[in-house]
Structure 1
């Protein structure tokens, strides 16, 4: 490998050395994004740093007594890939033209002076010493273990002996600190996210969030190459006067607001969820992510004031579910359909009317409930507990009357929720289904086929109600919820037990006097009251032909293409 022409640092691969015979991966651990960032931090020029923020950088630097190295760095899928061209080492260049890597202090256990190489490479770049040595050396036995040794520096590096040459090639990359030593100042979307000193202020993002609240929008979207945008009455709209953001702008905007635990999670998984609060304005459910353009974030506004059951127009029959001593109540609907708002209203109603102990398990905690008539403990997954299922298991030992489960996301959580409902507790949970019958199918289908008969029996006894909802655009602005409501009356329980889920809509239709209603009934009512356009109602319906028939029966015109 003495004719090395290029060294490549690629996340997830061991150091790659390119020779005239091709590519070779040297012995050692795979490169990590943090190691690559730390290596580049040593040699990046200011101009290259700015260029890298746009996705590509190319620059030269000097190795002492060696010559010129051409470096390139590129962002791929939010991660930095780097390469060092060694073919220009013999080109002379004045030392004042190009940046020099800074020498680190000699470590206490550095090699003796008589073993030091007179023209050692800068090992902190991850460039193999053999690539810079003019004398051919025989290939070593790569099977030998790599003994621990001191990290070499510019001041103390030595040329390795032939028998240890290959195992030293990637030694420095393995010993690079996991985080950059310069505050992660490399401007790139996916790694090195530490904010610059003095930049830990959320003033800028708070200003955008305040603007979103003032516009009565539901979500704020921040991502590179686009201006900040909000979801206003269901449509994506750019914030007035906001310019497009670059990757570095997004990082500087979002990173200061991320809690320490979530920073670590984001570094590892490129996704994280947390809550952010502006006192007196609102709380926000935040999600950060990485995409092709770099770092991004979405923020859902959670009003500081909890809307009451009366504000939402919930019927007395729905509120009667809050008076149950045990059972399972599921609020369901697509993402962004207002499930959290409806659940908060139900918990608030219990809080005002019952002297009960309520435990909520959420990810993250959204609406914050003060103790009124009830005692409320709110736990956040990832911060106060490891998972939904562990928190739910623990809740059984915490003397609860009511448990709110933010999401029934897997078989074990659903199973524990059903057991909790059967053992004398009232459980509220959510799913992402579009109707009451599909909710029942979703719960049963989570279980293996040999267990489903038993699950049907359990569910027929524990399921007390399903509220399916979706949001429709209102005439004149705003949105309004359309609800499908099913109660676990004996007729419904029998159909669940017998596996005749397809007959449930017929029972719901004939049980309107009990407060049950199908989604089409709610959509028709919203259209007849003038709150929603017929075409908007049709776009939300899962049974369009039936709703069109209802419109014709009520002389309501609609678009043929709706």
Structure 2
């Protein structure tokens, strides 16, 4: 058994999300959003490298020696899978391990709204799940894919770096491809996907211009594309999609993106007031005719007001959802203020103070 498994077991038993190992510092666990030190002597550079190399695929070791930064997945049977980022830093090496549960939680178990189940059943278009690192994007997408897998009779193709949640074919045929193991990169995998007869394509992350362009092409040609971006709101997500293209292409991209746009789900994880884990705050923007028209015209600044007045169509501004969570006592006021897009709403004596 790998020596590092003892740390994984500790992380799992304490209900943590991440294990941090860094040369010259004691190991740390992220528990309910906060990093906490483990009573363990700091690792030297050679000790830590040896510990991590024990579970690193041989091809990835070579890549790490050349690049100084790699991603891969590691599984401890009977415990969990882990998404690993292994990197060099000024004291030596470091690594972060994100625990991925063995069992995929349903949308009901995660407390996600029914609108997300509807999005998983769409025939075509693009649906984006966004948020900062550690906001639960992968967990939400896994629940959506699982819902489609159980309720549709289609081909689901995932392209990930690395594969996180493992889906068994149920109502659907599920094929999962990992960057570096099964394909050279997102660009090659997406080009191949268009010849592999998928109905749903999950792109683990839209990182660059080429990946975004190919994902939009797939959505335009009759596929349902699900993906993630590291943006903090629906409007910023749309801005990011458009601005990644050269300026002389942006008008055309706004038009094509508007045609295929179905929804942005932007989320953040917040500490529960009772200290028992975290709860997701969600902003949901649907691709209604009014929203698509604003995207075409480049008037994204008007989208928040459309979202506010169209809750009956399944839209949900983030600050409204945070207010609901505060009213229910699930989060406290300081947490609400910290995560709100408009913090003034939650200041003591603010216009929306409770």
Q: TM-score over 0.5 for the alignment?
A: yes
- 1:333–1:470: 8 Å Cα contact kept in structure 2? yes
Match for 1:491 among 281, 287, 290? 290
Matched, 1:351 2:145: no
Matched, 1:318 2:140: no
Q: Which residue of structure 1 aligns with residue 44 of structure 2?
A: 246
SS in 2 for 1:482: strand
Matched, 1:227 2:26: yes
Match for 2:170 among 361, 372, 376? 372
Q: Which residue of structure 1 aligns with residue 211 of structure 2?
A: 413
Q: Which residue of structure 1 aligns with residue 269 of structure 2?
A: 471
Q: Which residue of structure 2 aligns with residue 274 of structure 1?
A: 72
- In 1, the alpha carbon distance for the partners of 2:323 and 2:170 equals 37
How far apart are residue 220 of structure 1 and its match? 0.3
- 2:124–2:224: 8 Å Cα contact kept in structure 1? yes
- 1:281–1:304: 8 Å Cα contact kept in structure 2? yes
Matched, 1:425 2:223: yes
- 2:19–2:98: 8 Å Cα contact kept in structure 1? yes
SS in 2 for 1:276: strand
Q: Which residue of structure 2 aligns with residue 400 of structure 1?
A: 198
Match for 1:521 among 320, 335, 338? 320
How far apart are residue 243 of structure 1 and its match? 2.0
- 2:344–2:350: 8 Å Cα contact kept in structure 1? no
SS in 2 for 1:257: coil
- In 2, the alpha carbon distance for the partners of 1:547 and 1:321 equals 31
How far apart are residue 313 of structure 1 and its match? 1.8
The TM-score, its normalising length taken from structure 2, stands at 0.97
Q: Which residue of structure 1 aligns with residue 103 of structure 2?
A: 305
How far apart are residue 546 of structure 1 and its match? 3.5
- In 2, the alpha carbon distance for the partners of 1:540 and 1:499 equals 27
- In 2, the alpha carbon distance for the partners of 1:258 and 1:224 equals 17
- In 2, the alpha carbon distance for the partners of 1:450 and 1:226 equals 49
How far apart are residue 217 of structure 1 and its match? 0.7
Matched, 1:535 2:352: no
Matched, 1:456 2:246: no
Matched, 1:237 2:28: no
- In 2, the alpha carbon distance for the partners of 1:323 and 1:290 equals 42
Structure 2 residue ranges without an equivalent (≥5): none
How far apart are residue 396 of structure 1 and its match? 0.6
The TM-score, its normalising length taken from structure 1, stands at 0.62
How far apart are residue 523 of structure 1 and its match? 0.9
Matched, 1:480 2:279: yes
1:477-523, Cα deviation, whole Å (9 max, x unpaired): 21111000000000101101111100000000000111111110111
Q: Which residue of structure 2 aligns with residue 291 of structure 1?
A: 89
Instruction: Out of 357-366 and 527-536, give the one that drifted further.
Output: 527-536
Segments of 4+ moved more than 3 angstroms: 546-549, 551-555
- 1:407–1:430: 8 Å Cα contact kept in structure 2? yes
- In 2, the alpha carbon distance for the partners of 1:458 and 1:530 equals 42
- 1:406–1:429: 8 Å Cα contact kept in structure 2? yes
SS in 1 for 2:265: strand
How far apart are residue 553 of structure 1 and its match? 5.2
| RCO comparison, higher one (Cα < 8 Å, 6+) | 2
Match for 2:304 among 476, 500, 505? 505
* Residues 91-170 of structure 1 mapped to structure 2, 5 A cutoff: none
Q: Which has the higher helix share?
A: 2
- In 1, the alpha carbon distance for the partners of 2:346 and 2:250 equals 33
1:341-397, Cα deviation, whole Å (9 max, x unpaired): 000000000001001100000000000001111100000001100000110110110
Matched, 1:391 2:178: no
- In 2, the alpha carbon distance for the partners of 1:419 and 1:235 equals 40
State the Cα RMSD in Å: 1.3
Cα separation, partners in 2 of 1:220 and 1:421, compared to 1, 3 Å: same
1:178-220, Cα deviation, whole Å (9 max, x unpaired): xxxxxxxxxxxxxxxxxxxxxxx51x10111111011111100
- Equivalent residues, number: 353
- In 1, the alpha carbon distance for the partners of 2:9 and 2:267 equals 28
How far apart are residue 234 of structure 1 and its match? 1.1
SS in 2 for 1:320: helix
Which structure has the larger Rg over C-alpha atoms?
1
- In 1, the alpha carbon distance for the partners of 2:281 and 2:61 equals 38
